[in-house]
Chain A
Amino acid sequence: MAKIHIENLRKAFGDFIAVKNSTFTIPDRSFFVMLGPSGCGKTTTLRMIAGLELPSDGKILLDGDDVAFKRASERDIAFVFQLFALYPHMNVRRNIAFPLVCQGVPKSEINERVEETAKLLRIDHLLDRAVSALAGGDRQRVALGRAIVRRPKAFLMDEPLGALDTEFRALMTEELRQLHNRISATTVYVTHDQLEAMSLADFIAVMNHGVIEQLGTPQEIYDHPATLFVADFIGSPAMNLIPFTGSVRRGSKTVQLNGACIQVPEVTDTSTDSEFVLGARPEHITFSDNSGFRGEIFGTEYLGTTQIVTVKTAHGQVKARLPANVPLKTGENVGLSFLGSRLSIFQKANGRAVRTSSHPGDAHG
């Protein structure tokens, strides 16, 4: 297994810069997810690591060895694509064995490794079946098997679950994570689905316009988004971003929102700006009669255990996640109160988070 270090990696397609001077490290044995909207540069980065795309500039160190301009076949990396292509005329055993046959591995070793891989994926009882007779999930496991059997230094996966049903996707997400726990292979995984990223990753790199906006554990990124983009991209529904005008100084413990005084974590930074954005997750908002920050209920979305309530306020729409058994009427006037210790503040102009006692980290560039 391997550590992957990316240094000043850049890729331009004509005038378009797909990846801008990226520098980051994928630790050995970690499950590393690159997350972002389409066109953010995540797949291009992955393809450069794989050797399917040559960088315009920069280094890709695979266990200290710069492979940026080496052929894909010389990198000892396995790539798993979104649509799994199996050889329909071969059975499961031959499909999994195929990469080893191509490498000229001795037959006895091939058998051993295929069996071992099949056991790992819990498809050893299917080895002699035709792949065309397999259910979707098993086909996917066979495709994974073909990658694992090579024992590469790292796995690269490009939205491997993108084409699946929601339910089946949840199941495969869990299986992928368990598989990773068993074999601890360095894995770089690209997706635009933040829920998938949250449940799979040891580390997430959130990308936008060719730049990594934040790199951290799923919880760091969720609790302390470094930029407005990250705050808006992660979470479903997304973090409420409530613009306000005022002053945010070192030592402040409150901000003023439409005359209401809102408690926030103690600010540890002084900003000369006057335009800010308050970030509040829907689950950190409750209704309270004596709050001065008020609005009118615009609509509710029933989700079973919880409901998402959309409230129209003087500062725009605010979404709160409440228990589903709280009775609410559209048009009702309600006061909103915030769980102060969990709020974020951003500078509107540059989109960066203001440092507070609960939000000490600086944005990662």
Chain B
Amino acid sequence: MAEVSLHNLTKRFGLVTAVDGINLDIADREFFVLLGPTGAGKTTTLRLIAGLERADGGTLAIGGQDMSAMGPAARDVAFVFQQYSLYPHLTVFDNLAFPLRSPARRLPEDEIRTRVGQVAELLRISHKLQNKATQLSGGEMQRVAVGRALVRQPAIYLMDEPLSSLDAKLRSELRLELKRIQQELGATILYVTHDQTEAMTMANRIGVISKGKLIQIGSPREIYENPLSVYVAQRLGQPQINLLPAGVLLNGSCPSNVATVGFRTEHLEINRVESGNGLVEWIEHLGDQNHLHLRIGDHKITTLASPTTDLRPGDQVKVELQDPLYFDAGGKRVLRVPE
């Protein structure tokens, strides 16, 4: 395993700058997640590190060594793609052994057996080693695809939304497993996703990427509790953070350059009253949680309802804010609020 450093990394496709001067140091044994929507430049960044794309500017070092001019094979990275691509005519064992039999790094067969056995154990697919790849369920196939990367011990694992084609239940199981495996192996992983739950639950650090630029880096808790812009604040949290113009819910304590006030469930105190500033519109039952939809004047806000709530549509409530997040007109966080 090794650390990876990107310095001013840039990639253009015609007029579009897909990756725009990215600076990033991923530590040895770190699980780093790049979070952003489709088209943000996540996959291009991975492909640049893997050597599948050539950068237009900047440098890239793996384990302290400049790799910018090296071919993919020399970079010692393992790539897990979104769509698991297994060899359908091979058994699970042979699929897993495949990278170890490649001419570039051929290992003796008994060592291959040991490594495949270990990885299969780790991924809990030992009992399926003799099955054909096509006889597996979706979750098992994806585990084999991840396993094919794990049998190698590369400098870094690059994973491009490896769980996105799975259903919700499998996704949540594999999230836990992938994190466990990463910790057991002490692996360095750069993981790309648009799913905030994956980012929050697996990452040591998250990098929020938008339009080719890295706009904030931090631990899940830092990014969630301390977003530096409205954009970042909206990326994490379900329901999404509420944003209201300054003055709607505040009683004068807000500095003059604040244009928007952002708040989540934990910033809200809601109590039923005879006549309050808010009205319960409806309670949405989402399966994993209940959302409380409130109206405040002309504005709507959404918050998590407590599982034991006795609020009903039509109830009047008093809504108060506690330490909300302030943003200026440009969407930047206003950090210190004068007393």
Contacts and interface: CB of A to CB of B under 8 A. Distances in A.
Asked if A pairs with B, the answer is yes
Interface of A: 37-38, 165-168, 192-195, 197-199, 218-219, 222, 233-238, 281, 283-284, 299, 301-306, 310, 321, 323-325, 339, 342
Contact of A304 (B38, B176, B237): B237
A302 B288 contact: no
Contacts of A198: 285-287
B108 interface: no
A305 B237 contact: yes
13 contacts: A165-B194, A192-B168, A199-B284, A233-B169, A235-B287, A235-B288, A238-B169, A301-B176, A302-B220, A302-B224, A303-B197, A303-B201, A304-B238
Nearest to B265: A305
A302 B286 contact: no
A307 B24 CA distance: 28
A344 to B, nearest CB: 15
A237 B172 contact: yes
Contacts of A37: 167
B288 A195 contact: yes
B312 interface: no
Contacts of B167: 37-38, 192-193
A233 to B, nearest CB: 8
B285 A166 contact: no
B266 interface: yes
Contacts, number: 86
Nearest to A324: B266
Given A199-B284, A284-B307, 7 more contacts: A38-B167, A166-B195, A199-B286, A218-B285, A235-B288, A304-B238, A305-B237
A306 B304 contact: yes
A339 B306 CA distance: 13
A305 B200 contact: no
Contacts of A234: 287
B308 A339 contact: yes
B289 interface: yes
Contacts of B236: 304
Contacts of A168: 37-38
Contact of B168 (A38, A165, A194, A301): A194
Interface string B254-290: 0000000000111000000000000000001111110
A267 B138 CA distance: 40
B221 interface: yes
A218 to B, nearest CB: 5
A167 B194 contact: yes
Given A165-B38, A167-B194, A195 B286 contact: yes
Contacts of B175: 301
A26 to B, nearest CB: 21
A271 B267 CA distance: 47
Scoring A165, A167, A305, A323 by chain B CB atoms within 10 A of each residue's CB, the highest score goes to A305
A29 B39 CA distance: 38
Contacts of B220: 302, 304
A325 B195 CA distance: 23
B266 A305 contact: yes
Scoring B236, B286, B288, B289 by chain A CB atoms within 10 A of each residue's CB, the highest score goes to B288
B178 to A, nearest CB: 12
A304 B307 contact: no
Nearest to B225: A304
A218 B291 CA distance: 14
Contacts of A167: 37, 194
Interface string B16-38: 00000000000000000000011
Nearest to B171: A236
A342 B195 CA distance: 30
Contacts of A199: 284, 286
Contacts of A194: 168, 287
Contacts of B169: 233, 236, 238
B196 interface: yes
B140 to A, nearest CB: 14
Contacts of B176: 299, 301, 310
Nearest to B234: A167
Contacts of A299: 176
Interface in B207-221: 220-221
B39 to A, nearest CB: 10
Contacts of A219: 285
B285 A236 contact: no
Contacts of B195: 166
A251 B314 CA distance: 36
Contacts of A233: 169
B172 A236 contact: yes
A151 B236 CA distance: 39
Contacts of A281: 307
A298 to B, nearest CB: 10
Nearest to B175: A301
Scoring A165, A234, A325 by chain B CB atoms within 10 A of each residue's CB, the highest score goes to A165
B37 A283 contact: no
Contacts of B287: 194-195, 197-198, 218, 222, 234-236
Interface in B175-228: 175-176, 194-197, 200-201, 220-221, 224
B221 to A, nearest CB: 6
A165 B285 CA distance: 22
- Which 8 residue pairs are nearest across A and B when measured between Cβ atoms? A198-B287, A236-B288, A283-B307, A301-B201, A304-B224, A305-B265, A219-B285, A304-B237
Scoring B38, B168, B194 by chain A CB atoms within 10 A of each residue's CB, the highest score goes to B168
Scoring A192, A198, A301, A310 by chain B CB atoms within 10 A of each residue's CB, the highest score goes to A301
B291 to A, nearest CB: 9
Contacts of B307: 281, 283-284, 339, 342
Nearest to B239: A305
B288 to A, nearest CB: 4
Contact of B289 (A38, A283, A284): A283
Given A165-B38, A236-B172, A305 B304 contact: yes
B285 A195 contact: no
Contact of B285 (A222, A304, A310, A323): A222
A197 B285 CA distance: 11
